[in-house]
Structure 1
Amino acid sequence: MDEWNTSPNQKKIMDEWINAFYRAQGMESNIFNFHSHQEYEIYFFHSGDCKYLINNRIYELQPGDIILLDGMTLHKPNPRTGSTYTRSMLHFSPTWLQELLTALGIPNLLDPFKKLNNCLLRTRYDEAGQFVDGRIKEIAASLEQINKEMQRTGKKNELLEAEVKLELVQLLIGIFKMSQKELSQVTSKKTEKEHHAEAIASWINEHYSEKISLDRVAAELNLSKYYASHVFKEVTGFTVMEYVMGCRLNQVKYLLEMEPDRTLTEVSRVTGFESVAHFSRYFKEKVGTTPSRYRKNKITSNITVKKGEQS
């Protein structure tokens, strides 16, 4: 059974959303899958034994580490079985904040998420790390209060919603300052196994649209098939072919949303799927809806956001 210190606090606010997990523990399957999302993420590592894969990079986490994610880049934690893995996470929509940031005269506050390529900030629980920890805790508590009031009264508390926005802006200002310090970004030494796992991930990122097999990956990188398979699984927590399919699925999501004129047959072909039927089955299994329905929902959502920006 999954164990959490606090349940996820999620609240839809002003037609966009923000959610927070503070000091979550346990092995929740959805979070531990190789995944992507449109919201920005602030990830704070508290304790445990965990490697974190972001696209083709692998980090050995230390307490106090903060990862800034743009969301759309594939990422996945790989905690060691048996360790007490504790982390906090905050997801938020940049659209939800943009109007406020422009009004405050700080439209570039989200640059760390846009320009630092999913970076890791190593705080070792210094003053900056404690600041981020405390802010995430406060935001999670505020969201919990909003949720309780909404359930009790059926009405939004606009004052509490404004407080959440201000708390998040303060957190982002702190992170922006941290991101300017070159020394705060990790420069850790990697093991030979981690270098090989990253090489495999990098090669797959360049070739996932082609016909790929474990034999081909091993041959291209001058590794034995057995070693390539086992070292990738050991370091990342999933198989070579699971990673291939994750890369394909991520690109499919991008094309469905950003290139709506492409047919499903074209999307299937350019992302490396064997057939449209296999593509459709796999997409529905992993995403929970059909590709056409996913595209329709995203297009409708984008139109709604644009109308909101113009109003």
Structure 2
Amino acid sequence: MTNPDDTLLYKKKHNITINDIQHSLYYYFDYDERSFDINMPFQHFHSFYELMILISPQAYHLVEGIPYSIRSGDIVLLRPSVLHRSEYQKGAPSKRLIIGFLYPPSLWGMPETYQKLFEPFYSPLPIFRFPSKQQQLINEKLNRIYRYSFQDEEPELKSLIVHGMFVEFLYTLRQLAPFNTYTNEPLKDEASQKIYTIANFIHNHYSEELTLDSLSREFYISPYYLSHQFKDVTGYTLTQYIQMTRIRNVQYLLLNTKKKISELAEECGFTSFSQFNRIFQKYCSQSPSEFRKDGGGNSLPTIL
């Protein structure tokens, strides 16, 4: 007999929203599909926690420049500020569930307790894949929320119940973390694998001086070859990729700190403030101060 929780329940364009991102307790469940045609051009970040579960057969998820091959049932866990991008396959649209959530630092006076629930989001490996028994437990917790979301309930009470159910899910995920069987499949193309390794290095060293020559020396590769291969694999020149990675990190800091803009520019690897302003305007179509003032405005990406 088939268990109803063997699969994750899904209805296209169904969503569950509790509060908005301006509130300290926030949830957004997005049951939808995406296609190859609307793959994001560059990695983006969120100021909240995000969880993505693929329901379709296969896709890729880039996290800090590293491509991870994911299949149906895999869970991608992203803590705030991590640069990432989903890459869906050509053909039929891919079904997925994305959950964004944010808790206030002192929720109910138990910040340390809640922080324990977030431990899987800080794992060195951001993808979780479970054996069928454990996957069924995961689906069971999420399907409870899905079914409950269709009930006619007072908004305040509904928010509390969904929150309670999701805390149970986070606890279950934390308990099952040791059963994670995911191992990333290395790219068959060794040249591409090398380029993605360099991209990840950029994400981890963007605050340092990075040039074509310095990266060539670091990875024992000719400048000419690196320049051409990097554009072929990522779709960006090396300079563009470095600049966009730095700008994305500045954006996050602009929205989540009160430091001076000049300090943030320096922290993120810009040695010239005038150059920083020019590059920020180029990629964001507004100044850093305008970006901070309107809370990111239209420059912040939507959930994909």
TM-score range, shorter chain: 0.7 to 0.9
Match of 1:168 in 2: 166
Shift of the 20–234 alpha-carbon distance from structure 1 to 2, 3 Å rule, reads farther
Match of 1:69 in 2: 78
Deviation at 1:248, TM superposition (A): 0.5
Unaligned 5+ segments in structure 1 are 150-155, 299-311
Q: 2:19 aligns with which of 12, 20, 35?
A: 12
Deviation at 1:272, TM superposition (A): 3.3
Match of 1:221 in 2: 219
Correspondence 1:191-230 to 2 at 5 A: 191=187, 192-193=190-191, 195-210=193-208, 212-214=210-212, 216-224=214-222, 228=226
Shift of the 12–81 alpha-carbon distance from structure 1 to 2, 3 Å rule, reads same
Residue 111, structure 1, aligned to residue 119, structure 2: yes
CA contact (8 A) 1:49 1:83 kept: no
State, as a whole percentage, how many aligned pairs show the same letter: 26
Correspondence 1:241-280 to 2 at 5 A: 241-256=239-254, 260-262=258-260, 264-273=261-270, 275-280=272-277
Deviation at 1:197, TM superposition (A): 2.8
Aligned length: 281
Cα deviation, 1:191-220, whole Å, max 9, x if unaligned, reads: 334531332123323543455454653454
CA contact (8 A) 1:66 1:123 kept: no
Unaligned 5+ segments in structure 2 are 1-10, 296-304
Which stretch of structure 1 is more off in the superposition, 52-61 or 20-29?
A: 20-29
Shift of the 254–23 alpha-carbon distance from structure 1 to 2, 3 Å rule, reads closer
Cα deviation, 1:277-299, whole Å, max 9, x if unaligned, reads: 4533544565576422444577x
Deviation at 1:143, TM superposition (A): 5.9
CA distance in 1, matches of 2:39, 2:126: 23
CA contact (8 A) 1:45 1:64 kept: yes
Equivalent residue of 1:47, what SS? coil
CA distance in 1, matches of 2:150, 2:275: 41
CA contact (8 A) 2:56 2:71 kept: yes
Match of 1:305 in 2: none
Shift of the 240–104 alpha-carbon distance from structure 1 to 2, 3 Å rule, reads closer
Residue 37, structure 1, aligned to residue 37, structure 2: no
Shift of the 85–92 alpha-carbon distance from structure 1 to 2, 3 Å rule, reads same
Q: 2:102 aligns with which of 93, 97, 107?
A: 93
CA distance in 2, matches of 1:289, 1:137: 42
Q: Which has the higher helix share?
A: 1
TM-score normalised by structure 1 residue count: 0.71
CA contact (8 A) 1:19 1:143 kept: no
CA contact (8 A) 2:68 2:185 kept: no
